[in-house]
Amino acid sequence: MSVLAVREASAAICRKKQIPMAETEAQIREFLRLAEIAVVSITVTENDIALSALKKGPPSFLTATVRSIW
């Protein structure tokens, strides 16, 4: 998982739950630690691809619940 993905997930949870960004990021990092998922740096190219995807919105295959969070 990328640092950008952690940040975006934190921002989404922060908006929905109305809790501080630092708290949501800590919760996500703890979940990733428990799940043994590494957070890695990404290159400029990967960053550009990710930001382009975010502008397009959620993929159509996501459930309505996930799309509502998006």
pLDDT of residue 33: 92
The total domain count for the chain is 1
Q: Which residues pair with 40 in a beta bridge?
A: 2
Residue 23's pLDDT band (boundaries 50, 70, 90)? Answer: very high
Is residue 6 over pLDDT 80?
yes
Q: What angle do CA 39, 60, 4 make, to 5 degrees?
A: 20
Q: Could you read off the pLDDT of 32-69 as tens digits, one per residue?
A: 999 999 988 888 898 888 788 877 776 676 666 665 65
- Phi-psi region for residue 67, left (φ > 0), alpha (ψ -120 to 50) or beta? alpha
Dist CA 13 CA 41 (whole Å): 22
Domain assignment of residue 58, given as a range: 3-69
pLDDT of residue 7: 86
Which pLDDT belongs to residue 37? 92
